[in-house]
């Protein structure tokens, strides 16, 4: 442990801020007490944020590659979120992008030119300025990759060609073809800004959190590889996203990130007070945690698709749209929620989460209709065989699902679907949670289902469009026309109509995505912990605090 | 002796080389290359990105070139690069090996102590009931799943009673408890074989001679019987390296410790093939070296082995 930095802010300023915060919080509490999570009202003293203290946060697995654009896993992005700032921030409450390091941003009508005005006075933790030049270097590294360091381009920046510094403090990005999703991509943790010195390091250097210099509210303090990372707050931090409640430096002095691979201990770790916040709570543990006076905090994954079984038609068994539709309505989603999920999980209404911009509610089309499903399968020529499994031309309707073990609920969910599909004469081989199988099944179009959820900073197109996409391994001409139009359309009613067409096609008409539940990461928190989350489910430690410090 | 030594060392090197080659071939049998496997875990990836990374790591070269290149690398201590962290495999492994050596090494010593004490107590006790309980402990030990014991101990000690941390914090208990959990499973086969060997030794006429001369029970046990029964137990001890390593993977996960176990788990779940290859090579080497040491210790226990022309060290258990 290094010594704490000398307390630079004048005490007067601080106490003033605390008073102001208390007032604001009291207002907020009276104004929207009905919308706050029922478990959150643990603080008895009705006090505002408390300065100081160390928050212990337990992640699921250790990470040793902190390279920015590889931060597509929660384990990384949840930590890097506090170390790296981005040009823009997606405010979930308003449902729109708000200024962050870019105090202003705009796109031309064709969605090919994007201009960012860089906020003055921002510095990286190594002391260098976060100016237009630094932003250009970062955008180039994200869009083009860094060949000398063997770093690949960021997948959300597809089609990027160049950025140039214009005017005094502006950066202009020009894309060869329209991409209205580009701005949203700049809000992702995988587009976090690092200092020019960090960009010059080799791959191993850029992967080491000790060497990453960002402009975020916390900086690296110490590390025990595979066991813990300690972050200390930046006392001079003053450039939070425009809508953040806390506009100054973090309340907490320190965040300690530990790893708790064992799922059985997550609730107990919080209950015994050994950690203040833990990710990956099992639905089973939620009730016990709430009953013990602690909190269950579901963080909605608005930046991701819902959890789904993406359909591959390579084996031919699901080539007929009617068969896919039958399987879509052959899933009893409510029973999945009642059996393996909890109240923290909302059933999917589309391939987008309920709060995502452009969401269209298709839940009427997703009702459980086993009879209708059977009729569709009959119509498609799949007849029930002697063992109850349908067959056609001597082929049995046996299908396989693959998925990683990253979600605590995906395997039991598919176990239930296996039973439900059995009712309509379909046999599901459940390989969910088997990572070894996943490696071979992922590139195999013959494995019918891929259980997953994906970040959609580039929209749905990049996931479903390419011919070699791992979701469907199918490039659908009709869909691609809509994806292309959506990418080119500026935000507004016209684009929303295109988004609606995409969702309807993916979920209903073509049924390439058997949607299950909205992506949510369920956190367990001690009764003293106060924390909110980004639209990508990362905890916002800049605004977090602990009752009693 | 020189011939025996050369033969055993040669065999050891052959086994390591074969293990490496088999892993290399097994990786080639996978439907795609290590880079594609790594990049496509749980996400959709651009083919161009895969191709670039493949050429950067040399996976676009012909098989024979890759194999010879990797093999040449091994001799200069270059085990390739971990795809996940970009670190060299050597740095990644050596960074955490110390923690595992401490855990597995202590567990191994404690396991041997547990086994010897248990067998001594079972052999020396005059009470049949006590003896019956003691001889049934090793089968019980081997039946207890490592993760279950670890979970139960943590639930009680850390969550219920709050006397130890869920995380390794350098305290005595945070090392002692995982060591004990691992030692218990490892002690089981050693104790079982030692017990069997002991029964055999006590049937030998020389024990009667010792008794007739008035030697005490403990003198007979520690000075004569133990050495005679130690051979098969030594062999099984060499083989427990595997149990020790597998147990470390689980123990490190349950106790949130860094170490080879957690690296193995990460390497396998993220499909980081170069790292897995490095770990397999390390495991094979450790296994072979430990068994080589056992083989070399054998003649010290039983000089007849050298006379049998270097063949057929009594690897068959006494059972």
Q: For B159, which of A152, A271, A440 is closest by C-beta distance?
A: A271
Kindly compute the dihedral angle of the four CA atoms of residues A521, A524, A527, A533, in this order, to the nearest 10 degrees: -20
CB contact A435 to B (< 8 Å) = yes
pLDDT at A1 exceeding the cut of 80: no
pLDDT at A314 exceeding the cut of 60: yes
**How sure is the predictor about A458, in pLDDT bands with cuts at 50, 70 and 90?**
confident
Q: How far apart are CA A63 and CA B86, in angstroms?
A: 12
CB contact B192 to A (< 8 Å) = no
Give A299's contacts (C-beta < 8 A, 6+ positions apart): A520, A521, A522, A523, A533, A534, A537, A538, A539
Q: In degrees, to the nearest 5, what angle opens at C-alpha A163 toward C-alphas A162 and A166?
A: 145
CB-CB contact of A358 with A499 (8 Å): yes
Interval A122-142: pLDDT, tens:
999 999 999 999 999 999 999
Q: How many CA atoms lie within 13 A of B4 on its CB side?
A: 21
pLDDT at A463 exceeding the cut of 70: yes
Reported ipTM: the value is: 0.77
CB contact A442 to B (< 8 Å) = yes
Predicted confidence at residue B314, as pLDDT, reads: 46
CB contact A445 to B (< 8 Å) = no
**How sure is the predictor about A11, in pLDDT bands with cuts at 50, 70 and 90?**
very low
CB-CB contact of B256 with A258 (8 Å): yes
Predicted confidence at residue B40, as pLDDT, reads: 64
Token pair, residue A54, equals 């160390």
Which of A17-31, A35-49, A511-525, B58-72 is most confident? A511-525
User: How many angstroms separate the first and last alpha carbons of chain A?
Assistant: 18
Low-confidence ranges of chain B (pLDDT < 70): 31-32, 40-47, 305-319
Which of the pair, A4 or A254, is modelled with greater confidence?
A254
Token pair, residue B263, equals 């690296």
pLDDT at A321 exceeding the cut of 90: yes
Per 3-state DSSP, chain B is made up of helix, strand and coil in percentages (nearest 5) of 75, 0, 25
Long-range contacts of A368-372 (CB under 8 A, 24+ apart): A368/A329, A368/A330, A368/A331, A368/A332, A368/A333, A368/A334, A368/A335, A369/A329, A369/A330, A370/A329, A370/A330, A370/A420, A370/A423, A370/A424, A372/A326, A372/A329
Interface list for B 229-258 with A (CB within 8 A) = 253-254, 256-258
Dihedrals phi, psi of A87, to nearest 5 degrees: -65, -40
Predicted confidence at residue A42, as pLDDT, reads: 42
Q: How far apart are CA A71 and CA A81, in angstroms?
A: 10
Q: What is the pTM of this model?
A: 0.84
Looking at the DSSP bridge assignments, the partners of residue A514 are A309
CB-CB contact of A518 with A348 (8 Å): yes
Give A515's contacts (C-beta < 8 A, 6+ positions apart): A306, A307, A308, A348, A349, A350, A351, A366, A507
Q: How far apart are CA A371 and CA B22, in angstroms?
A: 52
Interval B262-281: pLDDT, tens:
888 888 877 788 898 898 88
Determine whether the interchain pair B159/A265 forms a contact, defined as Cβ–Cβ distance below 8 Å: yes
The alpha carbon of residue A380 and the mean position of all alpha carbons in its chain are separated, in whole angstroms, by 37
CB contact A446 to B (< 8 Å) = no
Q: From the CB of residue B31, how many other CB atoms can be counted at a distance below 10 Å?
A: 12
Q: From the CB of residue B59, how many other CB atoms can be counted at a distance below 10 Å?
A: 20
Burial of B128 (0-12, 13-18, 19+ CB in 10 A): exposed
Q: With beta carbons under 8 A apart, name residues in chain B contacting A466.
A: 44, 46-47
Q: How far apart are CA A167 and CA A400, in angstroms?
A: 56
Residue A308 three-state SS:
strand
Looking at the DSSP bridge assignments, the partners of residue A224 are A228
Name the pairing type of β-strands A307-311 and A513-517: antiparallel
Predicted confidence at residue A24, as pLDDT, reads: 41
Token pair, residue A35, equals 């919308």
Residue A240 three-state SS:
coil
CB-CB contact of B96 with A226 (8 Å): yes
CB-CB contact of A513 with A280 (8 Å): no
Name the pairing type of β-strands A54-59 and A254-259: parallel
Among B85, B40, B266, CA closest to A202: B85
Interval B40-61: pLDDT, tens:
655 556 667 778 778 877 888 8
Mean pLDDT for the stretch of residues A406-422: 92
Residue A226 three-state SS:
coil
Predicted confidence at residue A4, as pLDDT, reads: 35
Interval B165-181: pLDDT, tens:
999 988 899 989 999 99
Pick the residue of B43, B88, B169, B276 with the most A CBs within 10 A to test the interface with A by mutation.
B43
Q: How far apart are CA A152 and CA A173, in angstroms?
A: 19
Predicted confidence at residue A8, as pLDDT, reads: 35
CB contact A224 to B (< 8 Å) = yes
Burial of B220 (0-12, 13-18, 19+ CB in 10 A): buried
Interface list for A 490-549 with B (CB within 8 A) = none
Pick the residue of A66, A227, A455, A524 with the most B CBs within 10 A to test the interface with B by mutation.
A227
Q: For A443, which of B36, B154, B259 is closest by C-beta distance?
A: B36
Q: With beta carbons under 8 A apart, name residues in chain B contacting A228.
A: 167
Q: Report the mean per-residue pLDDT for chain A.
A: 89
Determine whether the interchain pair A439/B92 forms a contact, defined as Cβ–Cβ distance below 8 Å: no
Q: From the CB of residue A521, how many other CB atoms can be counted at a distance below 10 Å?
A: 22
Predicted confidence at residue A283, as pLDDT, reads: 93
CB-CB contact of A9 with A235 (8 Å): yes
Predicted confidence at residue A312, as pLDDT, reads: 95
Mean pLDDT for the stretch of residues A255-269: 92
Mean pLDDT for the stretch of residues A493-504: 94
Interval B16-35: pLDDT, tens:
889 888 888 888 877 667 77
Predicted confidence at residue A26, as pLDDT, reads: 41
**Searching chain B, which residue's CA lies closest to the CA of residue A60?**
B256
pLDDT at A67 exceeding the cut of 50: yes
């Amino acid at each position: 442990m290094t010594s704490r930095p000398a307390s630079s802010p004048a005490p007067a300023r601080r106490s003033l801020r605390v008073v102001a915060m208390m007032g604001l919080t009291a207002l907020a509490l009276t104004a929207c007490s009905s919308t706050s999570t029922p478990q959150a009202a643990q603080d008895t003293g009705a006090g505002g944020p408390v300065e100081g203290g160390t928050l212990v946060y337990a992640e699921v697995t250790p990470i040793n590659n902190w390279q920015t654009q590889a931060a597509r896993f929660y384990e990384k992005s949840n930590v890097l979120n506090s170390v790296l700032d981005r040009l823009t921030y997606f405010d979930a409450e308003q449902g729109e992008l708000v200024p962050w390091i870019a105090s202003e941003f705009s796109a031309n009508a064709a969605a090919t030119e994007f201009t960012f005005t860089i906020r003055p006075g921002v510095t990286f933790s190594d002391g260098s300025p976060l100016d237009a030049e630094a932003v250009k270097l970062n955008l180039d590294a994200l869009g083009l990759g860094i060949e000398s360091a063997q770093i690949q381009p960021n997948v959300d920046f597809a089609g990027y060609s160049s950025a140039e510094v214009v005017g005094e403090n502006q950066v202009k990005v020009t894309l060869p073809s329209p991409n209205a999703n580009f701005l949203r991509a700049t809000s992702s943790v995988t587009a976090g800004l690092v200092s020019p010195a960090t960009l010059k390091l080799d791959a191993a250097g850029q992967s080491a959190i000790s060497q990453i210099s960002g402009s975020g509210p916390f900086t690296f303090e110490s590390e025990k590889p595979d066991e813990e990372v300690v972050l200390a707050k930046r006392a001079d931090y003053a450039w939070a996203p425009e809508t953040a409640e806390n506009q100054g430096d973090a309340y907490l002095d320190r965040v300690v990130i530990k790893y708790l691979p064992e799922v059985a201990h997550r609730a107990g770790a919080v209950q015994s007070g050994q950690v203040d916040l833990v990710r990956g709570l099992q639905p089973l543990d939620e009730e016990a945690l709430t009953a013990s006076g602690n909190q269950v905090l579901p963080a909605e994954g608005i930046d991701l698709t819902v959890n789904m079984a993406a359909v591959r038609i390579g084996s031919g068994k699901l080539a007929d749209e009617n068969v896919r539709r039958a399987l879509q309505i052959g899933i009893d989603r409510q029973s999945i929620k009642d059996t393996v999920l909890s109240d923290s999980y909302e059933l999917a209404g589309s391939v987008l989460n309920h709060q995502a911009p452009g969401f269209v509610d298709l839940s009427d089309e997703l009702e459980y209709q086993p009879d209708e499903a059977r009729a569709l399968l009959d119509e498609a020529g799949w007849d029930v065989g002697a063992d109850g499994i349908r067959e056609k031309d001597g082929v049995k309707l046996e299908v396989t699902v693959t998925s990683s073990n990253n979600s605590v609920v995906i395997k039991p969910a598919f176990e239930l679907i296996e039973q439900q599909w059995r009712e309509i004469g379909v046999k599901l081989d459940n390989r969910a949670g088997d990572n070894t199988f996943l490696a071979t099944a992922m590139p195999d179009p013959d494995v019918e289902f891929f259980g997953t959820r994906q970040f959609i900073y580039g929209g749905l197109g990049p996931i479903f469009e390419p011919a070699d996409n791992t979701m469907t391994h199918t490039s659908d001409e009709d869909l691609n026309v809509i994806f292309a139009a959506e990418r080119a359309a500026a935000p507004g009613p016209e684009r929303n109509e295109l988004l609606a067409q995409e969702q309807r096609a993916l979920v209903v008409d073509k049924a390439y995505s058997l949607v299950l539940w909205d992506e949510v990461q369920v956190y367990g928190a001690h009764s003293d912990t106060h924390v909110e989350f980004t639209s990508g489910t990362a905890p916002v430690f800049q605004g977090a605090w602990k009752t009693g410090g | 002796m020189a011939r025996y030594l050369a033969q055993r060392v040669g065999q050891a090197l052959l086994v390591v080389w074969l293990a490496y080659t088999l892993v290399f071939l097994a990786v080639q049998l996978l439907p795609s290359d290590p880079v594609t496997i790594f990049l496509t875990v749980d996400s959709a990836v651009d083919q161009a990105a895969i191709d670039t990374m493949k050429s950067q790591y040399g996976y676009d070269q012909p098989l024979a070139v890759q194999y010879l290149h990797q093999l040449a690398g091994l001799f200069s201590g270059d085990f390739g690069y971990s795809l996940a962290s970009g670190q060299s495999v050597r740095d990644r492994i050596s960074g955490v090996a110390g923690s595992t050596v401490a855990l597995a090494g202590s567990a191994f010593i404690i396991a041997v102590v547990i086994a010897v004490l248990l067998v001594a107590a079972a052999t020396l006790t005059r009470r049949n009931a006590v003896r019956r309980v003691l001889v049934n402990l090793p089968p019980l030990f081997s039946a207890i799943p490592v993760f279950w014991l670890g979970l139960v101990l943590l639930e009680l000690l850390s969550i219920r009673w709050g006397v130890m941390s869920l995380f390794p914090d350098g305290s005595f208990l945070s090392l002692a408890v995982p060591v004990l959990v691992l030692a218990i499973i490892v002690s089981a086969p050693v104790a079982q074989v030692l017990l069997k060997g002991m029964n055999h030794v006590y049937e030998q006429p020389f024990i009667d001679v010792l008794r007739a001369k008035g030697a005490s029970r403990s003198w007979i046990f520690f000075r004569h019987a133990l050495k005679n029964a130690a051979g098969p137990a030594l062999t099984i001890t060499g083989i427990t390296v595997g149990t020790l390593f597998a147990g470390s993977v689980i123990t490190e996960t349950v106790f949130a410790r860094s170490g080879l176990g957690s690296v193995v788990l990460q390497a396998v779940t993220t499909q980081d093939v170069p790292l897995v290859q490095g770990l397999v090579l390390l495991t094979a080497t450790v296994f072979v070296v430990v068994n080589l040491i056992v083989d070399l210790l054998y003649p010290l226990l039983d000089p007849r082995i050298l006379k049998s022309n270097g063949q057929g060290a009594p690897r068959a258990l006494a059972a």
